[in-house]
């Protein structure tokens, strides 16, 4: 058993009630990545061993070279354990793949299944299971459509050094949000993720919020003594009861409009 887990269990069994609060903090709240690279007991990869990233360089030289600057290369720890958290942290143990000279079916390709990503990012499995999410579990969209595992920033377009923007990734599959619009909504100059969670949410269209608070992140709302609710210089008291800001007849063209400066349609 993992010694850390054993310590927690022992404390749970013998520590008594006063320890519970403390335990919650020490077992659960510690921000430390847990590594558990995939292992296999059945299928063509059964019994495969970890061989280390150096072995991969024989045949995938370019990938190994560029990996030095990738987000996940920081997971390479020094020492004997290191070989378990390089390329094989996502691709699984590679001995059979190497021995066979790269035969099909001897190594995991996460494009086919995000299962190895979930080994370390368990919370993401939950997000993609939500009612409104990108169809990753159905195999129609891959983590690799928006993430770059081998080189540079893992979030494509993320990070200060990037020339491409995060939105460009979204436009590849959602061209109608790209514009240019006659009346653009300046909100889109920031990221799509201001309003959408790209993994999934409980709200329709993967929106981060289902009500006006989505828009009030940036638009100031002021209540006057006479009962007016002023947003964007206009009284909205009569409008807010009609539904969300983007309901029919209101700001339907929330991504930008070709005809109306108030993004009505």
Tell me which residues in 87-146 interact with ligand HEC (CB under 6 A): 87-91, 94, 97-98, 101-102, 104, 107, 109-111, 114, 116-117, 119-121, 124, 128, 134-136, 140-141, 143-146
Check binding of 208 to ligand HEC (CB under 6 A): no
Task: Pick from 8, 27, 60, 130 the residue near ligand HEC by CB under 6 A.
Answer: 60
Phi–psi pair at 235, nearest 5 degrees: -70, 125
Instruction: Give the DSSP H or E segment for 22.
Output: helix 19-23
Q: In angstroms, rounded to a whole number, what is the distance separating the alpha carbons of residues 134 and 143?
A: 10
Residue from 23, 82, 151, 190 that binds ligand HEC (CB under 6 A)? 190
Does 205 participate in binding ligand HEC (rule CB under 6 A)?
yes
Q: What is the sign, positive or negative, of the torsion defined by CA atoms of 70, 74, 76, 78?
A: positive
Q: Choose between 3 and 68: whose C-beta lies nearer to ligand HEC.
A: 68
* CA dihedral of residues 117, 142, 95, 75 (deg, nearest 10): -40
Beta carbon of residue 143, minimum distance to ligand HEC (angstroms, whole number): 3
DSSP one-letter code for 51: -
Integer angstrom CA distances of residue 260 from 117, 144, 177, 221, 254: 44, 37, 16, 22, 11
Interface size with ligand HEC, residues (CB under 6 A): 95
H/E element, 238: none
Residue 29 is classified by DSSP as I
Report which residue's Cβ sits closest to ligand HEC.
102
Among 44, 185, 209, 239, the residue binding ligand HEC under the rule CB under 6 A is 185
Q: What is the DSSP string of 141-196?
A: S-HHHHB-SSSS-SBTT-STT-SS-HHHHHHHH-GGGS---SEE-GGGGS-GGGTB
Sign of CA dihedral 155, 38, 119, 204: positive
- Cβ 5 to ligand HEC, closest distance in Å? 17
Residue ranges in 61-80 that form contacts with ligand HEC under rule CB under 6 A: 63-64, 67, 71-72, 74-75
Q: How far is the CB of 264 from ligand HEC (least distance, A)?
A: 8
Instruction: Choose the stretch contacting ligand HEC; rule: CB under 6 A; options: 3-11, 12-20, 186-194, 222-230.
Output: 186-194
- Of 3-11, 20-28, 59-67, 235-243, the window that binds ligand HEC (rule: CB under 6 A) is 59-67
Q: Give 11 or 190: the residue with its C-beta nearer to ligand HEC.
A: 190
The binder of ligand HEC chosen from 45, 48, 96, 214 (CB under 6 A): 214
């Amino acid at each position: 058993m993992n010694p850390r887990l054993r310590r927690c269990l022992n404390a749970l069994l013998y520590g008594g009630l006063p320890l519970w609060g403390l335990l919650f903090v020490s077992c659960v709240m510690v921000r430390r990545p847990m590594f558990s690279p995939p292992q296999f007991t059945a299928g063509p990869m059964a019994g495969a061993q970890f061989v280390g990233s150096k072995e991969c360089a024989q045949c995938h030289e370019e990938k190994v070279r560029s990996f030095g600057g990738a987000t996940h290369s920081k997971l390479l720890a020094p020492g004997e354990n290191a070989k378990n958290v390089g390329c094989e942290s996502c691709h699984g143990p590679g001995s059979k793949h190497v021995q066979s000279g790269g035969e099909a079916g001897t190594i995991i390709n996460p494009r086919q299944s995000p299962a190895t990503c979930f080994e370390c990012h368990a919370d993401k499995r939950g997000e993609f299971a939500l009612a409104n999410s990108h169809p990753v579990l159905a195999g129609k969209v891959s983590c690799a459509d928006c993430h770059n595992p081998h080189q540079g920033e893992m979030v494509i377009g993320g990070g200060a050094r990037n020339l491409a923007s995060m939105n460009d990734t979204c436009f590849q599959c959602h061209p109608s949000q790209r514009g240019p619009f006659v009346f653009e909504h300046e909100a889109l100059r920031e990221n799509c993720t201001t309003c959408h969670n790209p993994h999934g949410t409980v709200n329709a269209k993967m929106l981060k919020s289902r009500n006006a608070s989505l828009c009030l992140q940036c638009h100031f709302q002021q209540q006057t003594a006479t009962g007016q609710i002023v947003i964007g210089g206009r009284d909205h008291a009569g409008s807010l009861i009609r539904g969300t800001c983007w309901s029919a007849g209101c700001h339907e063209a929330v991504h930008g409009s070709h005809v109306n400066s108030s993004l009505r349609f």
